[in-house]
Structures are given as structure tokens and as C-alpha cells.
């Protein structure tokens, strides 16, 4: 089984990708995780990525497509964070065809802009292990300290109001063409991502069945 989880920043893709990959026994391929790891290692790729991320600008299509191509040479996976625009979707389809593979479904987490602003502006991330927390919905036991590794919780540079707005605008402009591209090609599962994570997962499971 090969699938995509698709939605705007703050729609809960990362959370649902973890739950779904375990539930469906799929390898989770998160573009964001891969790129952040490269930034952490301060590799050449990481340095290139960092300049994009801090400005809220998407990393170049050529670069991310190359990264993804190296990670989808398996039979069962869930793609999180890719494709983000029509060009990437077209490249992904060509890559899969070249390897005699085909996507089975796309899960679309539909959310409104206000919910995205609320979620991202209050998100905090562990500086050491990368675990996610939320000041209201999922706070750490001790303020500013990670429950998992006791690392410092920080606000990502792309979670500031100005960058959140820019990321939302980019997604809004690109999402329509991606959904149109996949309509008729594979099953699209659309869920209301304004709900809590358990409700979203239940909705996805119900539609998968």
C-alpha cells in the first residue's frame, strides 16, 4: 500500500502520519523530518534547506524531489509533506511509474486558516529530540521542558505569525491543483482536520474501510 497524507502546515499531518503508519504497517516518509535531520547534521543539504525554512519559503522542487526519490524504493509507505505542488506531484508519478509502483489513496486534512494560526503559534518543539507539544492542547508536564528527554522546548522559526501567514498562502495557492491532479487517479479521503486528533483518525479509519 502506498499513500499520501496531504494538508496545510498545522493540519496535523505529522501526528496522523505517525498513527496511520503504525495502524496500516507502512513506513512513514516525512519530508520535514528528513530535511530537519539534515539541518541538524549541518550537512551541505541542511545548510541549503535552513535558509529556506527560516524564511517560510518552500525548499526547491528539484532538491526535495531528489530526496524523496531516494526514499520511495519500497512497497509500503505513507508520504508526509510531499508533494506540495503540481510539479512535485507530476514528478512523483513519473518516479513511481519508472519503478512500476502506483499510489493507492490520498488523505486530505481539510482545515481553516484560523485553526492553523492557533495551532502553530502555540506549538513548541524540543530542541534535542524534536518532540512536539502545544501550550493548550498538549502541554509538557513542566513548562518549557520536554517530557521525553528533558530538552528545552522552543518555538520554531517558521511558527511566527508572519511566516505562518506566508505558509498558508503558499499552500492555498498550490492545493487546488494537486487535488485536481489526483481526482480520478486514486481514492481521495477528505476529513475535517479542525477536530481533535482522535476524531480525525476515527474519520480516516471509517473512510478507509
Question: Annotated catalytic sites, by residue?
Answer: 13, 84, 123, 156, 167
Residues 138-155 as b or e (16 or more Cβ within 10 Å = b) = eebeeeeebeeeebebee
Q: How many CA atoms lie within 13 A of 152 on its CB side?
A: 4
**Interhelix angle for 113-121 vs 161-182, to 10°?**
130
| Cβ-Cβ contacts under 8 Å for 11 (sequence gap 6 or more) | 109, 110, 111, 116, 193
Nearest to 2 by CA among 64, 93, 131: 93
| Cβ-Cβ contacts under 8 Å for 206 (sequence gap 6 or more) | none
- Partnered with residue 126 across adjacent β-strands are 153
Contact assessment for residue 102 and residue 96, using Cβ atoms and an 8 Å cutoff: yes
Amino acid at each position: 500500500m502506498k499513500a499520501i497524507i496531504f494538508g496545510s502546515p498545522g493540519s496535523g499531518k505529522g501526528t496522523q502520519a505517525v498513527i496511520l503508519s503504525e495502524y496500516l504497517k507502512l513506513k512513514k516518509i516525512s519530508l520535514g523530518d528528513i530535511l530537519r535531520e539534515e539541518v541538524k547534521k549541518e550537512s551541505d543539504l541542511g545548510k541549503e534547506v535552513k535558509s529556506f525554512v527560516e524564511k517560510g519559503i518552500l525548499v526547491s522542487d528539484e532538491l526535495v524531489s531528489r530526496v524523496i526519490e531516494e526514499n520511495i524504493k519500497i512497497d509500503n509507505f505513507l508520504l508526509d509533506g510531499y508533494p506540495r505542488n503540481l510539479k512535485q506531484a507530476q514528478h512523483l508519478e513519473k518516479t513511481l511509474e519508472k519503478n512500476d509502483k502506483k499510489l493507492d489513496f490520498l488523505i486530505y486534512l481539510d482545515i481553516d486558516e484560523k485553526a492553523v494560526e492557533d495551532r502553530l503559534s502555540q506549538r513548541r518543539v524540543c530542541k534535542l529530540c524534536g518532540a512536539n507539544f502545544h501550550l493548550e492542547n498538549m502541554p509538557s508536564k513542566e513548562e518549557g521542558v520536554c517530557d521525553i528527554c528533558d530538552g528545552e522546548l522552543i518555538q520554531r522559526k517558521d511558527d511566527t505569525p508572519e511566516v505562518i501567514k506566508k505558509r498558508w498562502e503558499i499552500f492555498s495557492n498550490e492545493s487546488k491543483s494537486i487535488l485536481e491532479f489526483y481526482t480520478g487517479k486514486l481514492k481521495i479521503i477528505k476529513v475535517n482536520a479542525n477536530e481533535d486528533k482522535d476524531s480525525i483518525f476515527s474519520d480516516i479509519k471509517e473512510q478507509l474501510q
